[in-house]
């Protein structure tokens, strides 16, 4: 009973971190930044990227841990739930934009002056960005789960870094281009050339971050095993792998 309580509590914590990181990433994704690629010996110029890539490393890590200890079914359920929560958050933001701001609002750039325009500009992402964000997130998470188990089942549970980073390499390639195409190309904010350039930059940045976080993957595995107990954690991993294999055979 104590072990089951720990497993449930751990899943709740991971789910909370996962959902919060994903929603935060979507809410700030309307902001574009310029990233200079100056390597010292060569200057590759300055490119445009989405600030929303910042919380994604946390999403990568929690996805891998949930995949490893709870399986692909839980990841899919969590992805559906998170997609719904992202949509829900946008509904709340939209409703929050409707009332007129109080003229004495301390958040106004000039005290005592209502500033609906700034608030709406920051939070009022276009419908296409919202659709693109949710679509890209959902597709990339499903692909990540499939690739994670594809690699895991063929390496016999070895090489944690390979299945974690390998699944990210594929899933984020899809995510980086889908979100920009639906959110910026379809409504006419980006040309196809800008989409292609920005998509590759966002993808490369995510990969660099993912590779840099490889030590944290092993640290998270260590902490989870310490929390659950090494023997119980290993047993849960084996059980999850067996269930995943059954699921694959059934499909």
Q: What is the SS3 string spanning the chain?
A: CHHHHHHHHHHHHHHHHHHHHHHHHHHCCCCEEEEEEECCCCEEEEEEEEHHHCCHHHHHHHHHHHHHHHCHHHHHHHHHHHHHHHHHHHHHHHHHHCCCCCCCCCCCCCCCCCCHHHHHHHHCCCHHHHHHHHHHHHHHHHHHHHHHHHHHHHHCCCCHHHHHHHHHHHHHHHHHHHHHHHHHHCCCCCCHHHHHHHHHHHHHHHHHHHHHCHHHHHHHHHHHHHHHCHHHHHHHHHHHHHHHHHHHHHC
The reported pLDDT for the residue numbered 246 is 59
Q: How confident is the model at residue 20 (pLDDT cuts 50, 70, 90)?
A: very high
Q: What is the pTM of this model?
A: 0.78
pLDDT at res. 249? 46
| Residue of higher predicted confidence among 23 and 206 | 23
Lowest-confidence segment of 8-17, 21-30, 121-130 by average pLDDT: 121-130
pLDDT in tens, 85-121: 988 988 888 888 888 776 665 555 555 445 677 777 7
Q: What is the mean pLDDT of residues 189-217?
A: 81
């Amino acid at each position: 009973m104590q072990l089951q309580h720990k497993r449930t509590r751990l899943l709740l914590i991971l789910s909370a971190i996962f959902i919060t990181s994903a929603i935060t990433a979507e809410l700030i994704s309307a902001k574009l930044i310029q990233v200079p690629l100056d390597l010292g010996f060569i200057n590759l110029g300055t490119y445009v990227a989405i600030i929303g890539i910042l919380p994604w490393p946390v999403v990568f890590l929690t996805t891998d841990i949930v995949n490893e200890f709870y399986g692909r079914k839980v990841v899919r359920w969590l992805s559906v739930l998170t997609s719904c929560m992202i949509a829900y958050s946008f509904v709340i933001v939209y409703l929050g934009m409707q009332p007129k701001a109080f003229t004495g609002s301390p958040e106004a750039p000039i005290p005592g002056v209502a500033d609906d325009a700034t608030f709406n500009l920051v939070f009022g992402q276009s419908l296409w960005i919202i659709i693109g964000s949710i679509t890209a997130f959902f597709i990339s998470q499903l692909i990540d789960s499939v690739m994670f188990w594809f690699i895991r089942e063929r390496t016999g549970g070895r090489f944690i870094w390979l299945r974690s980073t390998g699944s990210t390499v594929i899933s984020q390639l899809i995510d980086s281009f889908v979100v920009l195409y639906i959110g910026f190309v379809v409504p006419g904010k980006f040309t196809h050339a800008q989409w292609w350039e920005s998509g590759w930059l966002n993808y490369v940045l995510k990969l660099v971050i993912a590779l840099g976080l490889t030590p944290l993957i092993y640290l998270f595995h260590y902490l989870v095993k310490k929390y659950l107990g090494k023997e119980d954690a290993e047993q849960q991993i084996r059980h999850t792998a067996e269930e995943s294999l059954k699921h694959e055979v059934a499909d």
